[in-house]
Amino acid sequence: MYKIYAKPTRWRNHHVPKILLIMKLVTVLMIAMMMQVSAASFAQKLTLKVNNIDLQQLFKEIRKQTGYAVIYTAATINDGKTIDANYNSTPLDEVLNNSLANQNLIYEIDGKNIIITRKATSILDKIFSVATINIRGRIADQNGTFLPGATVRIKGTGKRTQSDSEGNFYFNNIDEKAIIIVSFIGYDQVELPANSEMGIIRMNPIAGQLQEVTVNKGYYTENQKLATGNTVTVTAKDIEKQPVLNPMLALQGRVAGLQITQTSGIVNGPVNMLIRGRSSLNDIVGNSPLFVVDGIPFQSAL
């Protein structure tokens, strides 16, 4: 009878510490390599001194000098903004941070690629962003008659429009805190806070009457009894009786020898005026009237 004795092995207990040590070393080496790659990316430097350069040109210079490709979409940077590049051996990360600071853009480096994307809008940005509204309304006089051609503008901005033939007007994307100003010839100006539904805005006629004066040569006034030439007076009441927006058209048929022709069919379009007809075949030479308003001469095409 034989007895076999198995010698207990100590392989597991003997080699486990070595395996753990190797794993730790591999992990440390991988982290060091990753940090080295990242450091190599940021160690790239850029030299560029140009004012009013757009981002597309900047990205071309980055690729030319560093070899990094900048990836982006046209819609991402298509806002027309420019920057002043003043870099002298500046690290790439500093160039990107400075250039994209006020552009609402962020970047990410992936290998030899720089990916540009738009920054996500935070909840606070959405809360504090300027709220806009669409505005519509109608302009009418004190009797409820709708006024076409009334000027409607946004106070403090260059936005303006005119009411249509039914007195309607529209605005899109207006600050909800804006002030609406409405004006029309012969009526008091109206200022109202903006509202999506302005309703009917009623305007009142200007109180008072114009004094009757005769303008002689455009630079001084003279009593009508002492004037040697022909004078004609057209009052505001006369203009109100005619459904026209251009006050020049209201003179049609009221001033002897004055011929008025509207040059377009649009509302409040310009007109040409002649006094006593045309006296020459030359188009340059004519009997166009001279208008002097507050001492300033104007052409006849108003």
Q: Which of 57-61, 142-146, 194-198, 222-226 has the lowest average pLDDT?
A: 222-226
The residue assigned the tokens 């510490």 is 17
Q: What is the mean pLDDT of the chain?
A: 76
Percent of the chain with pLDDT over 70: 66
Q: 239-293 pLDDT, tens per residue? A: 777 767 677 777 777 777 777 777 776 666 677 777 766 655 555 555 667 776 6
Q: 269 — phi, psi (to 5°)?
A: -75, 165
H/E run at residue 20: helix 11-43
Pairwise pLDDT comparison (32 vs 92), residue with the higher score:
92
Q: Which of 42-51, 74-83, 139-148, 190-199 has the lowest average pLDDT?
A: 74-83
CB-count exposure of residue 206 (10 Å: 0-12, 13-18, 19+): middle
Contact 267, 235 (CB under 8 A): no
H/E run at residue 26: helix 11-43
Percent of the chain with pLDDT over 90: 14
Domains along the sequence of the chain with CATH: 1-129 (3.55.50.30), 130-203 (2.60.40.10), 214-298 (no CATH)
Pairwise pLDDT comparison (300 vs 50), residue with the higher score:
50
0.75 cut: is pTM over it? no
Structure tokens at 42: 């940021």
The per-residue pLDDT for 23 is 76
Strand blocks (E) in the chain: 45-54, 69-71, 82-91, 105-110, 113-118, 132-141, 151-154, 160-162, 168-175, 179-183, 190-193, 197-203, 214-216, 220-222, 258-262, 271-275, 291-293, 296-298
The residue assigned the tokens 């757009």 is 54
The per-residue pLDDT for 209 is 47
The residue assigned the tokens 């100590």 is 10
CA 47 to CA 41: how far, in whole Å? 16
For 42-72, give one letter per residue: b (16+ CB within 10 A) or e: eebebebeeeebebeebbebbeebbebebeb
CA 245 to CA 185: how far, in whole Å? 8
Average pLDDT over residues 3-32: 63
Q: Residue 122's pLDDT band (boundaries 50, 70, 90)?
A: low
The per-residue pLDDT for 287 is 61
Average pLDDT over residues 86-113: 86
